[in-house]
Amino acid sequence: MTSYALSFWLAGVALEGTILVRALVVGWYKKCPFFFGYLACVFVQDVFFLSVYSFKFKYYKPIYWYAEFFSLLMGCGVTWEIFRLILGRYPGAGRMARNVLAIVLLTVLTKGLVGAWNGDIPWTVTMVELERNLRAIQALSLIVLALLIAYYRVPLGRYAKGIYAGYGIFIATMVMTLTLRASIGQAFQAAWVFVQPHCYAASLGIWCVALWSDEQSPVEQSQSKIEEDYQSLALLTRRSLVQAREFLDRAIRP
């Protein structure tokens, strides 16, 4: 590792620690427990791996991929929490969006783990593919959420906006680098080592600014069109299910 990369690593650890300490002072960890847990997990891992890399390098790679799996799970929780923070004022639509996201993420995760359990593919290869798929799902879900925010003019709080922007940059970078790494191979390794730390540092900077002080509640809308559309969709779905059940009853009866 070059001195430049090491300095970025240390700077990232320092920023993570600063954000976590500020979370305890301001108290935003109560509003964003998944994100706080994710950042605390990454901070502990960075400190631990820095020690392993410096003193027991031969254990670095074997341990890294197992820790990366845990971080990936926590990252899925951050995406779920972003939906909760932004759509939390809309009980029906927010619950439906979070449930759909959770089902899709669990499906992709289960498929990847079952494939690794039944196959002879090395855990490293499995983790790279699983991470690429889960990051792609997260990226797609954040794009859909951005379209919902723009279409329904959903008000955003300071915390939600900051976490969304920072994590969005991080996810976009990961999807891009994982895709290029899979298609180009080791030739992309040098670029990946350079790009990823810079983008992650940008995310940490956004989080540090957005989460530094307490936030004011976003202005409530007098009418919630997103909830109205959800109720219409739910009613249409219930009617379709009733009609389908009646059709099946008639078809089964002799």
**Phi/psi of residue 91, nearest 5 degrees:** -55, -50
The pLDDT assigned to 27 comes to: 87
Between the alpha carbon of residue 236 and those of residues 13, 151, 184, 226, the distances in Å are 50, 21, 47, 15
* pTM of the predicted model as reported, rounded to 2 decimal places: 0.82
Residue with token string 């180009």: 184
* pLDDT at position 81: 93
**Spatial distance between the Cα atoms of 188 and 184, rounded to a whole number of angstroms:** 6
CA distance 252 to 234: 27
pLDDT tens series, the chain, 254 aa: 667 677 877 888 899 999 999 999 988 888 899 999 999 999 998 888 888 877 776 777 777 777 888 888 888 899 999 999 988 888 887 888 888 888 888 888 888 777 667 766 666 667 778 888 888 999 999 999 999 888 888 888 889 999 999 999 999 988 888 777 767 766 666 666 677 778 888 999 999 999 988 776 655 554 477 777 767 776 777 776 666 666 566 666 55
Q: What is the pLDDT of residue 217?
A: 61
The pLDDT value recorded for residue 102 is: 87
**What pLDDT does residue 223 have?**
47
Ordered by start, the domain boundaries in the chain are 3-214, 224-254
